[in-house]
Structure 1
Amino acid sequence: MSSRHLMSGAVVVAVSVVALAGCSSSDSGDSGGSSGSPSESVSIESTPAPSGLGLSQKLNCPGGVEKATPGPVTTAPLKVGTLLPATGSLAYLGPPEFAGVKLAVTDINANGGVLGQPVQEITGDSGDTTTDTASATVDRELGSGAQVIVGAASSSVSLKVLDKIATAGAVMFSPANTSDEFTCYKDKGQYFRTAPADILQGQALAQTMAEDGVQRVSLLALNDPYGTGLAEQAQKNLEAAGIPADQIQKIIYDPNAQSFNAEVDQVKNFNPDGVAVIGFDESAKIITRMHEVGIGPTDGKSVYGVDGNMGNALGEAVGGGLLKGMKGTTPLTNTGAEFQARLKEADPKLIDYNYAGESYDATVITALAAAQAKSTNGRSIASQINSVTAGGEKCTAYKQCLDLVNQGKDIDYDGVTGTLDFNEAGEPSIGSYGILEFDGSNKLLEPTRKYVSVAGK
């Protein structure tokens, strides 16, 4: 099936990386994506989008998007709390995200800090939705004076604590939330994210499956805003590609179930030629069971994953070689080998880099917003965040941007994840996705191409 049938929104750009080198497969499959340096060449092919599919050019939020109102000026040191998964179903995402924040704080403090003072980091665990860890962490960090909280990774966890953080006048800045629910959420203008919404990943996932010739599809998705939202977007785009609705099976499962045998049996009985597993660490159990009944990646079935499970941690959680040929999509930008090496210095045990760049950029953006506001008040920081990512003089490093801010200039920070250009909802208007694949050793190969969907502001 022609890929142009799935090109949607304003524009979808296919980017083919032609100079990837110098890194083992265990160092790929991440938000750091291709391991080469930013100077490596890429070929870019733009494809016009047909009308009638995908993103609208403007946000359509009932009542409009809430905006932050600046608070009283304060010059207290900026305190950044982390609400990231050290435990729970997304714990494999924690190390790169923690490392990204830690590295950003180091860079900020090495280049003048914020308002002439070093940034203080307060580390905290988000856990997952089965515990009250996130709420306890937020209480502790707010009580310690945090004006910014970077996290959570899970959309469901963020939704549990967002109101508490916003009401306290602090900034909540997620590096990994992708649920569409946040775009129009009544957040007092205090919530932001560096990860693009799943309305974009739904396009990339569906396009990948369609290009592989899949005609009968099973979507297995965990029951939370991330899973159900991404499954809905994938289904819409598959249907738009010409796959009839009765050829698409959607199964929503409980991620905390002891067994997924019943769901996998439903998939086997449906007999699809492509299966997408939209989940977190429970994906290992699901794929293991799929193999047991003969419908796994190595059994001749096309199996696909998403950002919630496409990491080398999944390969370590299943039998040897079980993932060979499994493909998946994830937000992906070319942060380069140098950035990954610096992350390794922050955490030598890293095996994945998922959302490390987004965590780094979230931290730097808040510091620049505080500098521009000339205040570390959380509401004042929030009022400047969108501004520092779009519309001004381009800059790509904290000191370079800070110097411009101190000169009274409007800035447009393009971070390690590339162009951000936040829309009025406080999220990227550009989503970049990599197509990843596991080899016979359950290791992620280097991505061979990207899709960049440009949404309307």
Structure 2
Amino acid sequence: MSVFTRSRAGKALGGIAVVAVSAVLLAGCAGGGTTTTPSESSAPAEDLTLKIGSVLPQTGSLAFLGPPEEAGVLLAVNEVNEAAKGITVDFTPGDSGDADNKAFETTVPKLQNAGVSAMIGAAASGVTKLFLDSNVAAGIITFSPANTSPDFTTWEDDNLYWRTAPSDLLQGEVLGNLVAEDGHKNIGIIYQNDAYGTGLFGVVKEVFESTGGTVVAEASYNDGDSSFDAQVATVAASNPDAIVLITFDQFATIAPLLVNAGQSAENFYLVDGNLKQWGADVSVSLEGAKGTTPGPVLEDDFKERLNAAWVDGGSTDLEDFSYAAESYDAVILLALASLAAGSATGPDIATKLQEVSGGSGEGTTCTSFAECADIILEGGVADYDGYSGPVTFDDAGDPTEASIGIFQFGADNMHERVETR
């Protein structure tokens, strides 16, 4: 498990040397935040109703992440409500789409008008940036299970932005080192020109070059583009020995173009934005290709519960579980913070999020909503350790502990986890 620390008051770190230099780092919990001692905690005078909405990708270039994320939210909502611990979650789902189809422009105002205290989402960093300030102005928490742009660490968010996914300063470091460890010396990078793509591109490039490697070609495209011939030609002309692809589902178009240009797919490196079970959806063999995505190995019982919650809603079985744990934990943390604050308003909940994650340095460790809720109701401080990890928020609303999975594709264009860092 990799551990890292950020500060809401600090500036974005310019060099990768400030980030972890290996996948196993010294643990450090951030101080600061609002600290409440057990004697100060109290149960709400009456049952709370917490109104939450989701802004997750039902359509658009990250739609493959929608089902596991929505399943995580649904399961958490069900379990909070079934626990009957003095708080009920009133949940309204919504589509984020992407920066191209802009479904969030309908969803976000609808949820704001419905009086939600928090929104789970978006998945894409670039989409969240387009509505975050509006939520801040409305006093609504934006809690993303999948945003990884480093920009959010220093965003002026009035303590109303939180995430259970780690900054790409971590994923980029792991990926850059992985490419080097596999013996590659000269690489090409194709990346999406948005907050997610440029941030991850910068870290991968810096880390890979710090190992003595060279980025011999780089090419970007914009979300919504449908032609990638120029980018492929630029990278292929440099004859790299590996190619890093920081894309969303545009990968399905780009990969065959690269193979047709003489590049070997076994030397492709993918990221969380395109690391899906491609199967027949990609027309060339991806056997040997690797990729990274944040998140730990999930317990079978948890995956079964996720799938059951999803199928009960009328959907087919989940094929992917990316960011499901982060989505589940986001809802649990919001419910616990609401209970600890004795309030269902966004700003009040935000004052307790760091505390219930263990980020204040106090509390009794607990691993389920019901267990943590009992601690709070008895006047104690709960420290929730979730399925995505211990979380342990720092002052910036970033998790200080996270895992990065390394995956490899087989002959069927389906991937399996081969390592966790």
| TM-score interval (norm. to shorter) | 0.7 to 0.9
Q: 1:211 aligns with which of 157, 181, 195?
A: 181
Distance 1:258 1:131, change over 3 A: closer
Q: 1:134 aligns with which of 94, 100, 104?
A: 104
Q: How is 1:259-278 mapped onto 2 (pairs within 5 angstroms)?
A: 259-278=227-246
Identify which range, 234-243 or 396-405, moves more after superposition: 234-243
Distance 1:429 1:58, change over 3 A: closer
Q: Give the letter aligned to residue 255 of structure 1.
A: D
Residue 84 of structure 2 is aligned to residue 112 of structure 1: yes
Q: How is 1:389-408 mapped onto 2 (pairs within 5 angstroms)?
A: 389-390=357-358, 391=361, 392-408=363-379
Q: How is 1:265-414 mapped onto 2 (pairs within 5 angstroms)?
A: 265-297=233-265, 302-312=267-277, 314-319=278-283, 322-348=285-311, 349=316, 350-390=318-358, 391=361, 392-414=363-385
For the 8 Å contact 1:75–1:376, the answer to whether it is kept is no
SS of 1:12 mapped into structure 2: coil
- Which residue pairs with 2:124 in the alignment? 154
> 1:248: how far off?
3.6
Q: Give the letter aligned to residue 304 of structure 1.
A: Y
Q: Give the letter aligned to residue 159 of structure 1.
A: K
Residue 197 of structure 2 is aligned to residue 233 of structure 1: no
Distance 1:179 1:426 in 2: 13
Any stretches of 5+ residues in structure 1 without a counterpart? Answer: 1-5, 14-45, 50-56, 60-64, 68-72, 452-457
Any stretches of 5+ residues in structure 2 without a counterpart? Answer: 1-15, 35-44
For the 8 Å contact 1:125–1:137, the answer to whether it is kept is yes
- Which residue pairs with 1:23 in the alignment? none
SS of 2:303 mapped into structure 1: helix
Q: 2:65 aligns with which of 93, 115, 126?
A: 93
For the 8 Å contact 1:75–1:375, the answer to whether it is kept is no
Q: Give the letter aligned to residue 117 of structure 2.
A: Q
- Which residue pairs with 1:434 in the alignment? 405
Distance 1:74 1:231 in 2: 49
For the 8 Å contact 1:287–1:296, the answer to whether it is kept is no
Q: Give the letter aligned to residue 376 of structure 1.
A: A
> 1:346: how far off?
1.7
For the 8 Å contact 1:74–1:375, the answer to whether it is kept is no
TM-score by length of structure 1 reads 0.81
Distance 1:118 1:316, change over 3 A: farther
For the 8 Å contact 1:147–1:171, the answer to whether it is kept is yes
Distance 2:372 2:280 in 1: 40
For the 8 Å contact 2:100–2:223, the answer to whether it is kept is no
Q: Give the letter aligned to residue 129 of structure 2.
A: L
Residue 84 of structure 2 is aligned to residue 121 of structure 1: no
Q: Give the letter aligned to residue 299 of structure 2.
A: G
Residue 388 of structure 2 is aligned to residue 417 of structure 1: yes
For the 8 Å contact 2:216–2:238, the answer to whether it is kept is no
SS of 2:111 mapped into structure 1: helix
SS of 2:403 mapped into structure 1: strand
How many corresponding residue pairs? Answer: 389
Q: Identity rate of aligned residues, in percent?
A: 39
Distance 2:228 2:179 in 1: 23
- Which residue pairs with 2:212 in the alignment? 242
Identify which range, 224-233 or 162-171, moves more after superposition: 162-171
- TM-superposition CA deviations, 1:303-357 (whole Å, max 9, x none): 1000000111x334212x6211110110021221111111111224210111000
Distance 2:99 2:376 in 1: 40
> 1:219: how far off?
1.0
Runs of 4+ in 1 over 6 A off after TM superposition: none
